[in-house]
Structure 1
């Protein structure tokens, strides 16, 4: 509490990161990552660039790859997100892609060109929702 004003002083979350191999702790607030279509496209392009450079040996980028994405994202958007925020977006994008891929490869489905949506019966959507329950 602020003793002079009697108002509670908001505590700032501690940020711990390992940029360039150094652990850094600060008392700065963590900015909520907001993903509009422009930021998402920039993120995807930066990730693809790193994948094409061989910076994804397994399921995620290497430290060097993430550093390049962090730096490139900041230079192109003016926003600096934390590595874990980018990784969360990677994971969510991958999950959404799997759901989309499943929809595209399912022969039971149709496509409504006017609405740009998938056409399926209620039973299909019920089963699909069970498998991809966390998909946005």
Structure 2
């Protein structure tokens, strides 16, 4: 599978390592997608996540709705990642102020990719490519 057109146009696609370029392209798009809020794009009103800060206010009752919204958002707007799985990951410690999820899936060429998605109490998301086993809650 080739990298996204955006990556090719910006010169970020690496022809020598297409699998690495694809994982970085996916990471970059997930970062933008999960930091966008639904309704912020007139031509794609469903693009992005619901207001994560509001979901934080309803914790722990909003944990499953947040997980479901995360899964739905990626399934709809990132078709390069199939067989999607979303699991809550163990937070680094009490009082950290973030929720962590492991998102894993396979590309069309069969490459398994795993990302750690951290939602902070202000609503921002950070996406990192995982390079090892993660713990689950």
**Which structure has the greater CA radius of gyration?**
1
More strand as a share of residues: 2
Both proteins in one fold, TM over 0.5: no
TM-score (ref. length: structure 2): 0.32
Q: Which has the higher contact order (CA 8 A, sep 6+)?
A: 2
Higher helix share: 1
